[in-house]
Structure 1
Amino acid sequence: MLYRITHMLALLLLATTALLAQRGAISGTVYDEDGFPMLGANVVIQGTGDGAQTDFIEGKYQFQVAAGTYNLVASYVGYQNQVIEGVVVKGNETTVLDIAFSEDTGVELDVDVTVTAQALQRGEVAVMKLRQNSDKVQDVISSQEIQRLGAGTAAAALTKVTGTTVVDGKYVYVRGLGDRYSATTLNGLRIPSIDPYRNSAQLDLIPTNILDNIVASKTFTPDLPGDFTGGSVNIKMKALPERFTWGVSASGSYNSQGNFRNDFLSFDGGDRVGLGYNDGTLDGPSILNDPRLADLDVLAANADRRARRDQELAGLVEDVANEFGNAFTIDRIKSGPDYSLSANIGNQFNVGTMPLGVFASVNYSRSFDQYQNGVRGNYLFPSGGFTSLQEVYDLQDSKSVQSGMLGGMLAVTLRPSPSNNITLYTLYSHQGYQEGRILQGSNESKGAAGTEDNFYRSQASTFMERELIDYVAQGDHTLTGLGNININWTANYVSSGQDEPDLRFAEYIKQGENYINDQSQFTRPSRFFRDLTDDTYQGNLDITVPVLQTRNRANALKFGGSYSMKDRVFNERIYAYGNSRGLSFSQAGGDFSVFYGPDNLGVIEQAPNQRNTIGAYIFDNSADPNSYTGSYAVGAAYGMFTYQVLPKLKAIVGLRAETTDILVESKVVEIQRARDNPSQDRIDDNTARIDTISFMPAVNLVYNLTESSNLRGSFTQTVARPNMREVAPFGSFGFLGEPPVFGNPNLALTSVDNYDLRYEVFPDAGEVIAFSMFYKKFRDPIVQTFRNAGEQQFTWTNSESAELYGVELEFRKSLGFLTSKLDRFTVSTNLAYIQSEQRVDAEEVRVARTVDPTYSATRSFNGQSDYIVNANLSYTDAERGWDAMVAYNYFDDRLQSIGAVGSPDIFERGRAQLDLSVSKQINRFKLSLRGRNLLNPAYEAYSEFDRTYIFQSYERGRELSFGISYGM
């Protein structure tokens, strides 16, 4: 049956291709002399009625036509008709023709004739025009440039935006500010985070093959979310095709550290782990659902003692232990290649007279990433006049991660009239990561010297899958009978989650022939089961009313509101291994397959007197506060006014009000409420609540110094919110003996004053020179700090104040101004210099100065680099189909985490990345060759004291990839 369906779809596709093979399309935007879209302009083929009217939303037009060469006529009331001669249309290609009416000459043309090189240039021209006419400071990167950079995800593409870095491959940092101070939206709707420790979305979830452009707004206007300070990143998906289009692509890559290696750490995760899914292999044992476990308290820590004379209990202890079995063996396998596959198809039809567009895409990738011989260390400053840091541990680090990613999109757009547009789409993204990790070496805190016969070892085998399903409905309507009032609405439902089934952790010391893992010194070998689900509902309404149009077309009143609500459920269960009277780990020779083998699990002996001997067994070591439910609701209303104060001066002023309602309750609250006499103190201690309203004014000024240059200035106020994990009052387990992290239910919102100034020049189409300065003042910034407790712990708190300032320089220019021989070369570079200072929590300073009297009371922002540099050199030869780019990225050292009491902070070493991409278009085939991370710098975390102490170091390896695509 599947074969027949596939065969019929293939025949249908070939038939459709043949029918449409000689047809192409013409599309573009019509602008007036001031750069505003012209609504209702006509573009037709001369001498015929074939053509289209620009829509009343964005001033765009499109129509299909047979392949050939045509003369077009552009007309608009009050302007002279203009003829555009010699427009070439090729079969199965789109001719892009943007028209800008001029006050003096009637029409100026910017004509691009194919969807190859010219369309690439046009994409960059369009985003530059978007920047030039924007009401705010923003940077834009087009889908064409993303493709040339070889970026596979939105996160990778954002590394090329001015003042932007990406941390951990997925979290955007704008102007040195962490994800708490950045908002990420997809087509204007917030993308929820599925990581409980992060505020912003994981941008590696979004593949670039569905993107049209990425806009990073650096200044706030009231129609944007109020909780951004560094930047608001809006990812715009591709518009639906003007004609029938389809394409497929495949690529493969090789990294000497990760691919075709025989030492890749792995474990049995099931048959679907390559796709990124748990097929049930990693689910908890089915016996955990047996009601007898609760009735007999089988999973209690003392079940081994009670089971000595209780046969039913002993039988269940035996069954539980056997079903859990041994899960601590890590194998070494041979890894395969990295590869990715993608396909897309779309078309536009007429239902009666109404255009209807459809577009679908699917993508899949698999990768193997690994490093061996890395370094993982920890050092503390001891009290008592020491002049150097004391080693806690210094370990060799080996880590292997194989991942599978599957995603897709299905979209439908209806245009009942040129002034009404409705879009429905669904976005799906799923990722799975299987990881094996071993750390081995010295651990002075546990008495291991790091020699061949005296070393510490910890190991973890994990699988994590993340999934996001986004259902969206959007509408854009222009009321032509009411002065072109525009109404834009959006609503969506997002189901997202993160699942970590059966994370397995164990640690021990080998001393000669002895293997030591006693519980007074080590974390028990444990199995962690964690899952998080979020249900998010969002709605936006924006109404734009043009006013005083006779004075200037920019004048408009815009108002609206939004509401977002997220419900979360987070659960963590921990099952630990106890050992009553079975073999010791030394007697098992340090072999987990023996220590937790069937002969050492459960009931290992039953004496004639019916007294049972219990070996290794399982007990529930979970902490009720570690599971929680939460809700996170933000409502907003705003109003803003754009007014051309003077012929060259435009002002955008407004106010946004946002309500914040956050409620987090640990499982302790649920348990207490179920009791006859609940403890209100325990309920209060396990509940966090924020309920407040914030007002955020904004003033943006744009002064047109010349026709091609702007001076921008702004003052705005924004906020930053804690996430649910940060206010949840529980401590999360720290592997490797790292300190646990506790939430703080007393956190408050951060308020930020933002000052921005930018001078920008657009010398020619697709070119820009921009210089920016910014300053930010924080009140009650949320910072990570020590928790006053008997052992080292971390938490979050509001410090008194902080500030951040910096400058940015951006330059994008064709080298043709030097000599015509360099017309095909374009250089693009941007530089950001940033400084920050935040006050350290007073209690942390007091405690730290008891150890180090010189301890500083200020530090920089976490993740903030002093310097960020991007530089690209590109070459484009449209006639021969060549496209090449060299891309260089560098960020300076940045604060990774604060040190322990009195110890210096830990910084991530700055590093550079060099990528190269070359592609060749051959008819409808495109071949590409890319080299990534060619410099292969070390990823290094360090502290400076009397010398440099390395906390982490590893290399990713150089990567070479080859791809082929076919499309029409």
Structure 2
Amino acid sequence: MTTPRLGALLLATSALIAPGLALAQTTDPSPPPQPETVDTAPQDEVTQVEEIVVLGRYIPQPLRQTSEVAAFITTEDLERTGDANAAEALTRVTGLTISQGRFVYVRGLGERYSSARLNGSPLPSPEPLQRVVPLDLFPSSILAGVTVQKTYSPNYPGEFGGGVIDLTTISTPSEPFLTLGVGIGGNTETTGKDGLVYYGSRTDFTGFDDGTRDMPGELKAALATGNRIVAGANFTDQEIQQIGWDFVNAPLNLLQRQRRIPVDFGFDISAGRSADIGGATLGIIGVLGYDNGWQTRSGVQGEGFLDLDELVARRSYDFMSTENNVGWDGLLGLSLENGDHLVRWTNLYVRRTTKEARTRAGFDFDAPGNNLVRDDFTAWYERQLFNTQLAGEHAFGNLEIDWRAAYAMTERNAPYEKYIRYSVGDDGVPFHEGQRNSTSFSELDDNVLSGGVDLKYTLPLSDLREIVFSVGAETLDNERDSETRIFRFQGSGLSEEFQRQRVDFFFADFNQGPGLIQLVEITGSDGAAAYEAELQVDAAYAQIDAELIPLVRTAIGVRYEDAVQTVTPFDLFGGASPFIPTSIENSYWLPAGTLTWNFAEDLQLRLGASQTIGRPQFRELAPQQYLDPDSDRLFIGNPFLTDTELTNLDARLEWYFAQGQYLTAGVFHKDLDRPVESAINDIGSVVQQTYINAPAATLTGFEIDGKIYFDSPMQGGFWDSKRWLIQANYTYTDSQLDVGADDVVFPLSSAGVAQPATNYFRDGDQLQGQSEHLANLQFGFEDDLARSQATILVNYASERSVARGRPGEPDLLFDPGVNLDFVYRKGFDAFGREIELSFEARNLLGTEFEEYQEQVNRIDINRYDRGTSLSLGLKASF
């Protein structure tokens, strides 16, 4: 006896023999299945048999439209979790973690193996150490959704290892709206407590400097000569004195303790409407947002080295840092739609400014005397992104044409980045060393000009089956310029009284001159302070997506990419750089195939295989030192890096057992040839973090994800009308470096000469940045009648390596731990308006930030309390 389901499959298969037969398959996932009405009237002639079984009625529409393993974050998801930006929202997705609060790690692979796009177009990065754009730049208020694709398809760039993140901005609404929102918040380690500040300028609270931090005019004129600013060689003592007098002193040098750090606050405005114009619909939407927040971190920093198989502290400090973070967000979108044609123009401006005051004091093995020191820092970091995109979607019967052209520009400006070292006397009183201070000016400009077109032709096979032929082309030109100038006020033979002056007196005009302190430029030469970089990619692809066999969908395609990546260090003083410009020229054929089998009602299997690449990032190739303010470590690139090549295999079983509810389970495997790893490198007493291609690595894991709604288990009062939610996911990943006795690597320290790989890597070690365990849990309720929603969110990631230790030493590890958040939203009417009240509590467990090395004993590299953050928001709709 044939079961009904098997019979349905057999009937479906008959469509291959009789193409005129139709497979009845519900495409709208929202309505419940209805019983079929059977007509029992006599028939004059025999009709063909049609299959009437309903398959896939609960599969969400986005997953119907893609043949890939993917996850989707919707507007409703963003509202439920209350995440402030795209980076926070992505921590809820299976297999994803966030590094430094900004960069996505997919399935344990670092940010270099993932790419971010905005409305399908690539984005540049304002970060010196990354080519990938930091996702904390994108506030949730401008997002309509986020797509995370974990299997490769040829319509995306070949730089794909972990996944691609495609951010979609909000579009023109069908109904006019105006929304105003305000919010306040604070942190238990920051708000109302002591913090460090410095004056800066009068307009710092806006995120824009009033001109105080502009490069001094005398200095700018001196730099224009192309000569190093040093007394005697190119400038007279008097000219050097004039330049030094032009530097801003007290407002930027003098650290102060503020008794009560203020609360965080912000506002946002969004509006949109549409109008009919000559048979077409014109839409406009705009968003403007501002936020001002504070964060104080107090903890310990250290650095260890191996002494007789035991880690010993080489440096150990207590530190305190206060950051004032100011952000502006702006979006303006226009659209024109006429039937099957849509043209959109989207403009996005995002700016983030960080004003930081920081001090640390403790033990430095390399410091003279009693080895006790104090370091003070002040900094001002401006990051901004502007993106403009023109895109169109056109349908001509079975032919669809999509096109896009975009220009994106990011900038990072860090003027007057200050560092001052003090030695601490036996009496505990600090004094200026006279040599260890610096003032740096750095600028980074990154631009991307891109364009692409996709053509899709649909050939029907039956009423519900079809073949889709897709071809497309894309071009990208990414240019980056980076330059840093560093200066020092130095003196020798200074009296003890002179060295113990308050900092603004020490650097005052009357203390500058021969025999006192004098300005000198210490910018690195030989290409160590500036570089130009460019990545040009021309690509084309072809793909066939077909359901040749009913219920079995196959997508097969290939992408061809021709790319040239160059990094050219240049000497700011006209000398020749010892580093040969890096040029990586490669062409790749990158095949990809997926298969989706809807073999049972609301149950389907996805299989995928592909070959992709990962390119070194600009900063990883540039032999230029850079001090990372987040980790207080020096970074330097390695021009001998090469591309990474990956082979990817995926399988996922998906069961959509009810509307909006599902259970999925998947496995994945990746082979990586020459993955880029970060490693610690000693240059004398200076510790640097650099990059090396490891010989090979493998990564294997599984993930499970589920979501279920259920009615209240109790009745009456609070429990009535509530629908409860449980959503959870878990990812296990095992990665191993493959390092053989004959393998070699090419580190910067050997100037490109091959070295045994076993000197730098251990066979079987985890990939850098990969956590073995990742887990997320959401539990809460929503009440449509009361217009309320509450969610508890738990996120866990096990420890991961952030850098390889020196040869023979353990890795530097980071332990993210468990994070517990709570989000509540409540809607009500007041003054004739719809009002929404929101409350958020983040890091309720008070999980610390912990970065360390451990072997026999433990050295804390960076450890501090993050505190618990609370915020309250109010939004009104008009």
Settle same-fold status: TM greater than 0.5: yes
Matched, 1:217 2:149: yes
Matched, 1:267 2:198: yes
Give the 3-state SS of the residue equivalent to 2:244 in structure 1: helix
The offset of 1:743, in angstroms, is: 2.0
The offset of 1:331, in angstroms, is: 1.4
The answer as to whether partners of 1:668 and 1:686 remain within 8 angstroms in 2 is no
**Of 952, 956, 963, the match for 2:862:** 952
CA gap of 1:631–1:102, structure 2 versus 1, over 3 A, is farther
Matched, 1:356 2:275: no
- CA distance in 1 between partners of 2:730 and 2:64 (Å): 20
- CA distance in 1 between partners of 2:23 and 2:746 (Å): 69
Unaligned runs of 5+ in 1: 1-33, 35-77, 83-95, 107-124, 308-312, 603-612, 673-681
CA gap of 1:210–1:752, structure 2 versus 1, over 3 A, is same
Task: Identify the residue that residue 696 of structure 2 maps to in structure 1.
Answer: 801
**Of 780, 791, 816, the match for 1:910:** 816
Task: Identify the residue that residue 609 of structure 1 maps to in structure 2.
Answer: none
Higher helix share: 1
The answer as to whether partners of 1:535 and 1:567 remain within 8 angstroms in 2 is yes
Give the number of the structure with larger relative contact order, counting CA–CA contacts within 8 Å between residues 6 or more apart. Answer: 2
The answer as to whether partners of 1:448 and 1:456 remain within 8 angstroms in 2 is no
The offset of 1:302, in angstroms, is: 4.7
The offset of 1:448, in angstroms, is: 6.7
Matched, 1:342 2:268: yes
Task: Identify the residue that residue 495 of structure 1 maps to in structure 2.
Answer: 409
**What pairs up with 1:216-255 in 2 under 5 angstroms?**
216-255=148-187
**Of 750, 762, 768, the match for 1:862:** 768
**What pairs up with 1:178-577 in 2 under 5 angstroms?**
178-261=110-193, 263-290=194-221, 294=225, 299-300=229-230, 302=232, 313-324=236-247, 326=249, 327-333=252-258, 334-372=260-298, 374-382=299-307, 386-416=308-338, 418-446=339-367, 455-480=372-397, 484-513=398-427, 515=430, 518=433, 524-550=436-462, 552-577=464-489
Give the 3-state SS of the residue equivalent to 2:732 in structure 1: strand
CA gap of 1:204–1:252, structure 2 versus 1, over 3 A, is same
Give the 3-state SS of the residue equivalent to 1:587 in structure 2: helix
The answer as to whether partners of 1:829 and 1:869 remain within 8 angstroms in 2 is yes
Task: Identify the residue that residue 578 of structure 1 maps to in structure 2.
Answer: 490
The offset of 1:545, in angstroms, is: 0.7
**What pairs up with 1:868-887 in 2 under 5 angstroms?**
868-887=774-793
Give the 3-state SS of the residue equivalent to 2:129 in structure 1: coil
Q: Which amino acid aligns with 1:289?
A: K
- CA distance in 2 between partners of 1:345 and 1:156 (Å): 24
**What pairs up with 1:927-966 in 2 under 5 angstroms?**
927-966=837-876
Give the 3-state SS of the residue equivalent to 2:157 in structure 1: coil
CA gap of 1:692–1:586, structure 2 versus 1, over 3 A, is farther
**What pairs up with 1:17-166 in 2 under 5 angstroms?**
104=36, 128-166=60-98
The answer as to whether partners of 1:588 and 1:594 remain within 8 angstroms in 2 is no
Q: Which amino acid aligns with 1:369?
A: Q
The offset of 1:420, in angstroms, is: 0.4
Give the 3-state SS of the residue equivalent to 2:574 in structure 1: helix
CA gap of 1:702–1:571, structure 2 versus 1, over 3 A, is same
Give the 3-state SS of the residue equivalent to 1:445 in structure 2: coil
The offset of 1:904, in angstroms, is: 0.9
The offset of 1:97, in angstroms, is: 12
The offset of 1:239, in angstroms, is: 2.5
- CA distance in 2 between partners of 1:853 and 1:228 (Å): 29
Q: Which amino acid aligns with 1:706?
A: A
Q: Which amino acid aligns with 2:850?
A: E
The answer as to whether partners of 2:29 and 2:659 remain within 8 angstroms in 1 is no
CA gap of 1:103–1:532, structure 2 versus 1, over 3 A, is farther
Task: Identify the residue that residue 45 of structure 2 maps to in structure 1.
Answer: none
Give the stretch that moved more between structures: 659-668 or 787-796. Answer: 787-796
The offset of 1:732, in angstroms, is: 3.4
The offset of 1:206, in angstroms, is: 0.6
Task: Identify the residue that residue 731 of structure 2 maps to in structure 1.
Answer: 832
- CA distance in 2 between partners of 1:151 and 1:498 (Å): 25
- CA distance in 2 between partners of 1:952 and 1:733 (Å): 15
Give the stretch that moved more between structures: 591-600 or 204-213. Answer: 591-600
Q: Report the number of matched residues.
A: 815
Q: Which amino acid aligns with 1:824?
A: R
- CA distance in 1 between partners of 2:816 and 2:455 (Å): 45
Task: Identify the residue that residue 611 of structure 2 maps to in structure 1.
Answer: 717
Task: Identify the residue that residue 44 of structure 2 maps to in structure 1.
Answer: none
The answer as to whether partners of 2:432 and 2:499 remain within 8 angstroms in 1 is no
Give the 3-state SS of the residue equivalent to 1:874 in structure 2: strand
- CA distance in 1 between partners of 2:58 and 2:440 (Å): 50
The offset of 1:243, in angstroms, is: 1.2
- CA distance in 1 between partners of 2:406 and 2:628 (Å): 36
Give the stretch that moved more between structures: 265-274 or 126-135. Answer: 126-135
The answer as to whether partners of 2:694 and 2:745 remain within 8 angstroms in 1 is no
The answer as to whether partners of 1:552 and 1:644 remain within 8 angstroms in 2 is no
Give the stretch that moved more between structures: 888-897 or 283-292. Answer: 283-292
The answer as to whether partners of 2:680 and 2:805 remain within 8 angstroms in 1 is no
The offset of 1:494, in angstroms, is: 0.7
Task: Identify the residue that residue 594 of structure 1 maps to in structure 2.
Answer: 505
Q: Which amino acid aligns with 1:796?
A: Y
Give the 3-state SS of the residue equivalent to 1:664 in structure 2: strand
The offset of 1:584, in angstroms, is: 4.0
- CA distance in 1 between partners of 2:478 and 2:246 (Å): 37
The answer as to whether partners of 2:402 and 2:453 remain within 8 angstroms in 1 is yes
Task: Identify the residue that residue 651 of structure 2 maps to in structure 1.
Answer: 757
The answer as to whether partners of 1:515 and 1:590 remain within 8 angstroms in 2 is no
- CA distance in 2 between partners of 1:317 and 1:867 (Å): 57
The offset of 1:473, in angstroms, is: 0.4
The offset of 1:187, in angstroms, is: 1.0
Unaligned runs of 5+ in 2: 1-8, 10-21, 39-56
The answer as to whether partners of 1:516 and 1:586 remain within 8 angstroms in 2 is no
Task: Identify the residue that residue 61 of structure 1 maps to in structure 2.
Answer: none
Give the 3-state SS of the residue equivalent to 1:290 in structure 2: helix
1:271-299 Cα offsets, whole Å, 9 max, x none, are 2222222222112211113359949x782
Task: Identify the residue that residue 48 of structure 1 maps to in structure 2.
Answer: none
Give the 3-state SS of the residue equivalent to 1:594 in structure 2: helix
- CA distance in 2 between partners of 1:753 and 1:963 (Å): 46
The offset of 1:739, in angstroms, is: 6.9
Q: Which amino acid aligns with 1:553?
A: R
The offset of 1:866, in angstroms, is: 0.7
1:156-184 Cα offsets, whole Å, 9 max, x none, are 11110111111111111111111001111
TM-score normalised by structure 1 residue count: 0.79
CA gap of 1:414–1:98, structure 2 versus 1, over 3 A, is farther
Give the 3-state SS of the residue equivalent to 1:685 in structure 2: coil
**Of 788, 802, 814, the match for 1:896:** 802
The offset of 1:551, in angstroms, is: 7.2
**Of 494, 506, 520, the match for 1:619:** 520
The answer as to whether partners of 2:418 and 2:440 remain within 8 angstroms in 1 is yes
